[in-house]
Amino acid sequence: MGNRSLNYWVTALAAHASDMSSWLFMAYPAMIFLFGLEKIWIAVGLLVCMYCNWHFVAPKIRVATEKLNCLTFFSYLERQFNDTSGRLRIFTALICFVFYTIYISAGLVGLGLLIESLFPVSYQLAVGISILIALPYVLIGGYRTLAWLDLFQGLFLMVIIVAVPCLLLNKVGGWDAIHSSAAASQISLKLAPGLNLKNIFNILLVILGWGLGYFGQPAIITKFMGIKEVHKIAKSKFVGMSWMLVSLLAATFVGLIGIAYFSQNPLENPEMVFIHLVKNFFNPFFVGIILCAIFAASINVMCSQILVLCSSFTEDIYKRIFRPTAVSKELLLVSRLGVLFVSLIAFIIAYYKISSIYSLVLYAWSGLGSSFGPLLIFSLYSKKQNLNIAWAGILSGSITSAIWPWINAKLTLHIDPIIIGFTCSYLAILIVAYLSHKKVTQPTSIT
Chain segment 152-162, per-residue pLDDT in tens: 777 888 888 89
CA 331 from chain center: how many Å? 27
Distance between CA 138 and CA 300 in Å, rounded? 10
Would you say residue 405 lies in a domain?
no
Worst-scoring range by mean pLDDT, 143-147, 389-393, 416-420? 143-147
Q: Which residues contact 413 (CB under 8 A, 6 or more apart)?
A: none
DSSP designation for 85: S
Helices (H), 141-232: 143-168, 174-184, 197-211, 218-225
Which pTM value belongs to this model? Answer: 0.84
Of 420, 390, 393, give the one whose Cα is nearest residue 77: 390
Q: What pLDDT does residue 143 have?
A: 64
Select the highest-mean-pLDDT range: 196-200, 232-236, 324-328, 440-444.
Answer: 232-236
DSSP designation for 442: S
**Range 352-378 average pLDDT:** 87
Cβ contact 102:364 at 8 Å: yes
Give residue 333's domain range: 2-70+101-352
Judged by DSSP in three states, 227 sits in strand
To the nearest 10 degrees (0 to 180), the angle between helices 387-408 and 357-381 is 160
Cβ contact 129:115 at 8 Å: yes
DSSP designation for 6: B
Cβ contact 380:60 at 8 Å: yes
- Using the predicted structure, report yes or no on whether residue 142 has a pLDDT greater than 70: no
**Range 177-189 average pLDDT:** 88
Which residues does residue 227 pair with via DSSP β-bridges, in sequence order? 6
Would you say residue 135 lies in a domain?
yes
How many folded domains does the chain comprise? 1
Of 181, 187, 183, give the one whose Cα is nearest residue 265: 181
Would you say residue 30 lies in a domain?
yes
Distance between CA 339 and CA 191 in Å, rounded? 43
- Using the predicted structure, report yes or no on whether residue 400 has a pLDDT greater than 70: yes
Q: Which residues contact 211 (CB under 8 A, 6 or more apart)?
A: 45, 46, 47, 48, 49, 50
**Range 238-258 average pLDDT:** 93
Return the H-helix or E-strand segment holding 281: helix 273-281
Q: What pLDDT does residue 152 have?
A: 79
Residue 194 burial (10 A CB sphere; 0-12, 13-18, 19+): exposed
Would you say residue 160 lies in a domain?
yes
Distance between CA 377 and CA 391 in Å, rounded? 15
Task: Evaluate the CA torsion angle 226, 227, 231, 232 in order and state its sign.
Answer: negative
Cβ contact 95:308 at 8 Å: no
CATH number at residue 145: 1.20.1730.10
Percentages (nearest 5) of helix, strand, coil residues in the chain: 80, 0, 20
Select the highest-mean-pLDDT range: 58-62, 96-100, 101-105.
Answer: 58-62
Q: What dihedral do alpha carbons 128, 134, 136, 140 form, nearest 10°?
A: -150
Q: What pLDDT does residue 41 have?
A: 92
pLDDT band at 5 (very low <50, low <70, confident <90, very high): low
Would you say residue 374 lies in a domain?
no
Task: Give the angle 211-213-219 at the CA atoms, nearest 5°.
Answer: 125
Higher pLDDT, 424 or 150: 424
What value does the mean pLDDT of the chain take?
84
Distance between CA 288 and CA 402 in Å, rounded? 38
Would you say residue 379 lies in a domain?
no
Q: What pLDDT does residue 61 have?
A: 93
Q: What pLDDT does residue 297 have?
A: 72
Would you say residue 268 lies in a domain?
yes
Would you say residue 95 lies in a domain?
no
- Using the predicted structure, report yes or no on whether residue 315 has a pLDDT greater than 80: no
pLDDT band at 447 (very low <50, low <70, confident <90, very high): very low
Of 300, 243, 304, 227, give the one whose Cα is nearest residue 8: 227
Whole-angstrom CA distances from 190 to 39, 187, 251 are 10, 9, 17
Distance between CA 99 and CA 130 in Å, rounded? 20
- Using the predicted structure, report yes or no on whether residue 51 has a pLDDT greater than 80: yes
